[in-house]
Chain A
Amino acid sequence: MQCEQCGTREAVVHLTQIAEDQVTVVHLCEKCAADRGFDTGVAASQTPLGGFLATLSSLGELGPSEADTERCPVCGAGFDDFRKTGRLGCAACYTTFSGPLRELMRRLHGAVAHAGERYRSAPSAAGEAPAALPDPVEKLQVQLREAIAAEDFELAARLRDALRGPRD
């Protein structure tokens, strides 16, 4: 999305304005927002993208210089590519650039370690169903009990089907 004022730079600040009982959102680039006297740091933090880009630009000062020349051995992306686009090239980039990314994640999320569900199963290389795992069935049974307790019968039926195993 382009800045509504200059029409050239990417809009990273999304300002909510209220006038005549109507809410409007004005999309501005960081420079035009600053020209209008808005504190871009605060405004940018209202959107993940705005906050992300602000953090990313500040990372230029902090990222280890060797990261700029290092390239991901799997996809070939460099950290400079990430700086430009905000997008990584492949899963291996997280390992290749783990140093500066850890710092970025600390700033973005206030944490660097995953605390959610852990992925436990993957298919074999041939793409076939994986070997039986102890957890999924137990988890499905718990989910089924919860769905029934919540009277979510549509989901309960699907959980029951899932517990019965693959259809083919």
Chain B
Amino acid sequence: MIDLRLIPDGGPGWLDASGPENHLVLCTRIRLARNLDGLPFGTRNSPDERERLLDDVLRAAERTSGLAGATTWRLDRLDLSDRHLLHERHLVSSELAGLDPSRPVVSGAACLWQGGVGVMVNEEDHLRLQGFRSGLDLDAVYRATDLLDDELGQRLPFAFHPEFGYLTTCPTNVGTGLRASVLIHLPALVLTKEIAKVLQGLAQVGLTFRGWYGEGSEVVGNFFQLSNQTTLGKSERDLLDHLGMMVRQVIAYEEQARQVLMREAPAVVEDKVWRAYGLLRYARTLSFDETMNLLSGVRLGVGLGLIEPVGLYALNKLLIYSQPAHLAALEGVPLDDPGLAVRRARYVRSVLDAEADRHRGGPSARMEGNG
């Protein structure tokens, strides 16, 4: 089992709630799809070719400033619960982790990670470089990922076409190979039923949305991954500027919706967020989906200044460690442990109790809430 300390809270750099707009934006992620010239793409290469590719990438990574000394996980040598763990950390895609039983993990599938940047090897594309930062910070994530791209590109022969740009297994990624995503919490737009209009508007300007775990995943806890849909015909700078501008617009919409809620139905909103807090604080069983939805209510309450005795860092930590594989690893039990919902409720209570104790002004958050 992977030692959770190997992927500490700061590992993905998105838990510390230190980034810009962190009250709404959990993290910014950028990935660059790259393939090597002269090697069949991931759909047609052999186990030997995948092994050689991984060797070449590991050798090249050792000579970069970003990944020298990186933690490396070979997905094909990890058991299912560990692969789930890395997927829950958003370090690997569901495909690379082989989580779909009909598409098991391929030999040579690996992930390197260090200090906010990393690379997935032997995914659909040979390399998927990626970077994470807390909050909305497209420029910083791109600078770090672009540096890794430059350094690896000097040591590995990337497949590049003068007309089409960086060549990818799927033409939806060709050109820049860049997919920038912003994981944003939009509860007020959901509550006011404005979210569908906003998402449709984003589709019309070339952006798309995904769920908590990326492409094809469910939206849980009112978290949406907003990202660019096209990768060809615009520069990286234009793609990032456009996404950043639209995300700031969505933030403005969400804040307007929050004002509407507080103006039109303050008692209802206050009741909703405190009920969510109360359930998390006192429930004896919690499913992951229920936890995510209740955490969404509490996060909204924190954002509106209605709930004080819990910080964003604690909420972010709960988001991550309430996930099945993280909770199982934390508790030292198998992923299919039948008591996971009870353990989750106990874990959530312990974190919220500690937060309430930490909060100045009294040992009981409930008392403060009533005041």
> A residues engaging B (CB < 8 A)?
1, 11, 14, 16, 18, 21-25, 27, 45-49, 51-52, 74-75, 77, 85-91, 94-95, 101, 104-105, 108-119, 121-123, 127, 129-130, 133, 136, 139-140, 143, 146-147, 150, 152, 154-155, 158-159, 161-162, 166-168
A18→B143 contact, CB < 8 A = no
Evaluate whether A25 and B151 lie within 8 angstroms (CB atoms) in the complex, with A101-B171, A116-B178, A162-B64 already known. no
Q: Are A90 and B233 in contact (CB under 8 A)?
A: no
Taking CB atoms, residues of chain B closer than 8 Å to A95 are 161
**Given A91-B161, A150-B140: A159 touches B147 (CB 8 Å cut-off):** yes
Residues of A close to B43: CB separation below 8 A? 85, 87-89
Question: Is the CB–CB distance between B147 and A119 below 8 Å?
Answer: no
Which chain A residue shows the least CB distance to B167?
A91
Give Cα A143 to B139, complex, Å: 11
- Complex interface: chain A residues within 8 A of B164 (CB): 94, 101, 105, 112-114
Q: Please, how many angstroms separate the alpha-carbon atoms of A24 and B189 in the complex?
A: 14
- Chain A residues near B157 (CB-CB < 8 A): 122-123
Q: Which residue of B lies closest to A116 (CB)?
A: B176
B40 close to A (CB within 8 Å): yes
> CB distance B146 to A143 under 8 Å?
yes
Number of A-B contacts (CB under 8 A): 208
The 4 closest A-B pairs by CB, nearest first: A111-B233, A114-B165, A119-B160, A91-B159
- A90 engages B153 (CB within 8 Å): no
Smallest CB separation, A111 vs chain B (Å) = 2
- Cβ–Cβ contact A116 & B235, under 8 A: yes
| Cross-interface CB contact of A45 among B203, B209, B232, cutoff 8 Å | B203
Which chain A residue has the least Cβ–Cβ distance from B133?
A152
Determine whether the beta carbon of B230 is less than 8 Å from that of A87. no
B285 within 8 A of A: no
Residues of B within 8 A of A (CB): 35, 37-41, 43-44, 56, 59, 62-66, 68, 100, 115-116, 124, 139-140, 143-144, 146-147, 150-151, 153-167, 169-172, 174-176, 178, 190-191, 193, 195-196, 199-200, 203, 206, 208-211, 215-216, 218-219, 222, 229-236, 238-239, 293
Q: Which residues of B contact A108 (CB under 8 A)?
A: 171-172, 230, 232
Residue from the list B56, B100, B174 in contact with A105, Cβ < 8 A? B174
Of B155, B165, B200, the residue contacting A116 (CB under 8 A) is B165
Q: Which of B56, B143, B175 contacts A127 (CB 8 A)?
A: B56
Q: How far is the CB of B334 from chain A (nearest CB, A)?
A: 26
Which residues of chain B come closer than 8 Å to A52, judged between CB atoms? 170-172
The CB with the most chain A CB atoms within 10 A, among B39, B171, B222, B230, is that of B171
B44 touches A109 (CB 8 A): no
B contact residues around A129 at 8 Å (CB)? 63, 154-155
With A110-B233, A116-B176, A123-B156 known as contacts, the answer to whether A48 contacts B208 (CB < 8 A) is yes
CB distance from B300 to the nearest CB of A (A): 11
* Assembly CA distance A116 to B216 (angstroms): 27
Cβ-defined contact, A123 with B193, below 8 A: no
Task: Name B207's closest neighbour in chain A (CB-CB).
Answer: A46
CA distance A105 to B39 in the complex (A): 23
**A46 and B208 in contact, given A75-B44, A105-B164, A158-B65 (Cβ under 8 angstroms):** yes
On whether the beta carbons of B166 and A119 are closer than 8 Å, the reply is yes
Alpha-carbon gap, A122 to B157, bound state (A): 5
